[in-house]
Amino acid sequence: MQWFELKNWLELSTGLDRDSLHIYAGVGVQLVVALFFRRSLASPIPWLFVAMVASANEYYDYALVPEEYHGSQEYYDEAIRDIWNTLLLPSMFLLIAKFWPNWLIGRADTDREPDKPDEGTSPI
């Protein structure tokens, strides 16, 4: 199955449009790479994998599109939209995990006393 056929099959079988598939693919790649390499979302490595996958996808799209579309504004607009959709949420996850990690756990460090452990956690 060719790359274009695979993307068409995914679109038809899921009922999602290509923009939605780009969003899900970006988040999915970031989470899978973070789990596989045992990295936090605050690490740039999962985000870089998403950027590489988005770039490879656009390269294949460029290679498969007919020659008359190579310089067209329509092609470039679609490529930019694809990269934007793929990288937006992974970029937000990277920034939040790196600079505001307390947003992800739902409480600020100032909510607990420094010498007292959280309720529900064992002291060991």
Q: Where are the alpha helices (DSSP H) in 15-120?
A: 18-36, 44-64, 73-99, 102-105
Identify which of 86, 79, 81 has the alpha carbon closest to the alpha carbon of residue 28. Answer: 86
Mean pLDDT of the chain: 86
Q: Which of 13-27, 47-61, 70-84, 107-121 has the lowest mean pLDDT?
A: 107-121
pLDDT in tens, 77-110: 999 999 999 999 999 999 999 999 888 777 665 5
Query: Would you state the pLDDT for residue 1?
Result: 60
Cβ-contact 76, 62 below 8 angstroms: no
Give the mean pLDDT of 33-55. 97
Identify which of 82, 10, 104, 98 has the alpha carbon closest to the alpha carbon of residue 46. Answer: 98
Query: Would you state the pLDDT for residue 45?
Result: 97
Cβ-contact 96, 103 below 8 angstroms: yes
Give the mean pLDDT of 25-48. 97
The residue written with tokens 């038809």 in the block is 12
The model's pTM: 0.78
How would residue 6 be classed by pLDDT, with cut points 50, 70 and 90? confident
